[in-house]
Amino acid sequence: MSTESAVSQGGNPGLALAPDQAGEPGLALAPDARDPVIDVARLRVALARLSRKLRRHEVAGLTPTQLAALATVGTSGPMRLGDLAAAEGIAPSTLTRLVTALEESGYVRRCADPSDARASTLAITPHGQDVLERIRSESTLVLAASLKLLTPAQRSALAEALPVLEQLAEAPGSGPAETRPR
């Protein structure tokens, strides 16, 4: 189904086809005629590029998926493997390989679940916590250096947009699985 037919069926109010900067058809969001038009594809590309830039780190040799899992365990505290798989949206077989790699690197350790002898929990090690903090610091420095290249007006616009970006990042039901047509 094309984007045009999906939009014209009324499944997404405020979504419309609009030319992008190159004049090609693209998806735009303007819930109301008075609202500014948002080029959704351009926003997605910009966020993806920024995300890749921040994930390019020299510390630890972790894949993005391993880093995300390590960060989840570091933030949430000890958790069952199934809960980690659900939080990260990955299959149990993938999780097994991921956890094995994190364990072998000394970033996490498996512990027996005190409430269920058949299950185990995963906890971040002090080494894993140190690595996570170094990666966060490195990413923060990269972003800070990039922000210095912006004009004061651009930094101000970004500061105003920050709460909205945080809201988008935390919005439930906004992942790829939840937005696919059924």
Q: Are residues 15 and 89 in the same domain?
A: no
Question: Is residue 91 assigned to a domain?
Answer: yes
Instruction: Report how far residue 62's alpha carbon sits from residue 161's, in angstroms, rounded to the nearest whole number.
Output: 30
> Rounded distance, CA 37 to CA 1, Å?
24
Number of domains comprising the chain: 2
pLDDT class of 92 with cuts at 50, 70, 90? confident
Evaluate if residue 181 carries a pLDDT over 60: no
Is 95 part of any domain?
A: yes
Residue 174 within a domain: no
Q: Which domain holds residue 159?
A: 56-169
Examine residue 51 and state whether it is found in any structural domain, yes or no.
no
Sheet with strand 25-29: strands edge to edge: 15-19, 25-29, 38-39
In a domain, 4, yes or no: yes
Is residue 103 a part of any domain in this protein?
Answer: yes
> Is 85 found in the same domain as 33?
no
- Residues 27 and 93 both lie in one domain: no
CATH (domain of 94): 1.10.10.10
pLDDT at 5: 34
Q: Which of 13-22, 33-42, 87-96, 125-134 has the highest mean pLDDT?
A: 125-134
Same domain, 14 and 63: no
Dihedral Cα 164, 180, 52, 151, nearest 10 deg: -30
Residue 155 corresponds to which tokens in the numbers above?
A: 């930094």
pTM, full prediction: 0.66
**Side chain identity, residue 94:** T
Lowest mean pLDDT among 57-61, 90-94, 117-121: 57-61
What torsion, rounded to 10 degrees, do the Cα atoms 180, 169, 54, 72 define?
A: -90
pLDDT tens for each residue of 119-169: 889 999 999 999 999 999 988 998 999 999 999 999 999 999 999 999 988
Is 160 found in the same domain as 101?
Answer: yes
